[in-house]
Amino acid sequence: MDLGTLKESCSQYSNPGNVKLTYGTAGFRAEASLLPSTVYRCGLLMAMRALKTGAVTGLVVTASHNPVEDNGVKLVDPTGYMLEQTWEAWANKLAAADDVDGTCTVVQELFQVEDIPYGSGTVMLAHDTRPSADGLVKAAAAGVAAMGSLPIACGLLTTPQLHWMVRQCNAGLKHKEKAYFEALATGFARLVSGHTAPSEGLIVDCANGVGAGKLQVLADRLAPGMAAELRNTSTEAGLNDACGADFLQKERRLPAGFQHVPAGARCASLDGDADRLVYFRRQGSGDEVHLFDGDRIAVLAALLVMDLLKSLPPAEQRPPTVGIVQTAYANGASTEYIHENLKCEVRVTPTGVKHLHTAAEEFDVGVYFEANGHGTVLFSAALVQRLHELGADSGPAKALLALVDMVNQAVGDALSGVLLVEAALRRKNWGLPEWAALYTDLPSRQLKVKVADRSVVTTSDAETRVVTPSCLQHLIDSAVNAAPSGRAFVRPSGTEDVVRVYAEAATQAAADDLARLVARHVHSAAAGVGPPP
């Protein structure tokens, strides 16, 4: 690293000063014009992370489910997972440095404390369809270059594609986009071979995001093996606007462009950077939907895996462990179904795939999904090795190996998620009715409350209890106790400037009332902005 070059480059990306951005649930996110200096510094950071680990790192410019005027960065570690959590503090320190000298001081401190060798690393960069992407990718590349490292522009990609590419690249495997499509498509073809395709195709809401073009490539690659009709495919307008997985999960109504979809048709929805997936079907003649959320996808994935594991020859040592990881947002009915019927272990972590992913790694097969549709299925190296040993003679082992190839092992991926759901349904010869019949969701409601400073709300116990403001948990407890089979919690969002409220109860009206009452308590205890909910 040349300090003179760094200073010169840094001076082009001064900190706006009046805003303090912090690393949230999945990186930094804000209105796009506030971001250049933060994204530049993330470029510096990921170059240093590459030097520290001696491997390629990644950075995606995206704000995922947020509105189009926002943008952000997701940071990819050499494993393909999200940035190692101990480095989030460095990301915050760099983002907060207020001038050129301050930034250089943090860089030097980081080199020293983390004992980073000098040299040149490589950082792969990608972006979604937001109009602000170009300038921010340039800022990230400038940060990488200022460290004497190499930025590789990978262009327009879904977030999970870049995670996958970084993971493959560091494992010395084929890692170009073509190889990604090849892995997913051939995995799917192997998995569904001999099983009849459903007579009705899948209709996909692509949120007007990057997933549209990528899913089209995948569908073409799979034709005629999988029929998919894509809607909300603009890359010019309407990103996440009344459409997309987040809209479906929060609003529970038909997305834009689906008004004439037949009741019961099999539909799916991606989010803006295609790392979340939910399924849905129209219910009745209005715009109401029946949602098949991340919890239900997790249950279906676990059923598929457990069926296959049961058919393997008995293990000489211990049988493979299967666990499901959820957050407090998981519908209580899904958790009960897992305990009672699947009889596998359930872990609960705070929100954020970085937390779920770590917990899922503790099992031979770790199925993790947030209710919002973000998740994947991880397979341990030991199990994969055993499957390879069994492979040639065992149909179930071959099917499991096809799953390992098809399901993104780096991070939740809506494209590989679609294939996972389609393959699981096809192998069981199920449609949405059979999948829906596994259990009935408890009525629930999610709301968000705008507050002056969301950091005044802090939580414990995997975000199920409020620590501050100190009066708030008592108020929530009273509201919950008064609601039939009530459950509720609140937490500050790590991606939007809001406090989120979740409530569950015996009836929809009771869940709605409970959510509204808790939201009002948040509004009064945490300096809500605007009128109370």
**Binding residues for ligand G16, per CB under 6 A?**
25-26, 64-65, 271, 275-276, 351-353, 370, 372, 374, 493-496, 500
**Minimum CB–partner distance for residue 239 and ligand G16 (Å):** 13
Measured distance CA(516)–CA(533) in Å, rounded: 7
Site of tokens 């071979």: 193
Residue number with CB closer to ligand G16 (13 or 280) = 280
Tell me how far the alpha carbon of residue 104 is from its chain's centroid. Answer: 33
Q: Between 65 and 281, name the residue whose CB sits nearer to ligand G16.
A: 65
Q: What whole-number distance in Å separates Cα of residue 27 and Cα of residue 23?
A: 5
Shortest distance (Å) from residue 281 CB to ligand G16? 23
Cβ 288 to ligand G16, closest distance in Å? Answer: 24
Classify 364 as helix, strand or coil. coil
Residue 52: φ, ψ to 5°: -60, -40
Closer residue to ligand G16 in complex, CB, 252/374: 374
Of the pair 298, 353, the CB lying nearest ligand G16 is at 353
Residue 437 in 3-state DSSP? coil
By three-state DSSP, how is residue 214 classified? Answer: helix
Fill in the DSSP letter of residue 18. S
SS3 category, 59:
strand
Q: Is 135 exposed, middle or buried (0-12, 13-18, 19+ CB in 10 A)?
A: middle
Which one, 103 or 372, has the nearer CB to ligand G16?
372
Q: Between 127 and 374, whose beta carbon lies closer to ligand G16? A: 374
For residue 302, CA distances in Å to 341, 402, 528 come to 11, 15, 41
Measured from the CB atom, the residue of 177 and 293 that comes closer to ligand G16 is 293
CB of 318 to ligand G16, least distance (A): 31
C-alpha R_g of the chain: 23
Q: How far is the CB of 73 from ligand G16 (least distance, A)?
A: 11
- CA angle 157-103-109, nearest 5°? 100
Least distance in Å: CB of 443 to ligand G16?
21
Active site residue 470: no
CA 186 to CA 465: how far, in whole Å?
45
Q: Which of 64, 132, 269, 334 is catalytic?
A: 64
In whole angstroms, the minimum distance from the beta carbon of 90 to ligand G16 comes to 20
Q: Please, what's the b/e burial string for 251-273 (b: 16 or more CB within 10 A of its CB; e: otherwise)?
A: ebbbbbbbeebeeebbbbbbbbb
3-class DSSP state for residue 414?
helix
| Residue 413 CB contacts under 8 Å (≥ 6 apart), including other chains | 158, 160, 161, 163, 164, 274, 275, 376, 407
Q: Catalytic positions, please?
A: 64
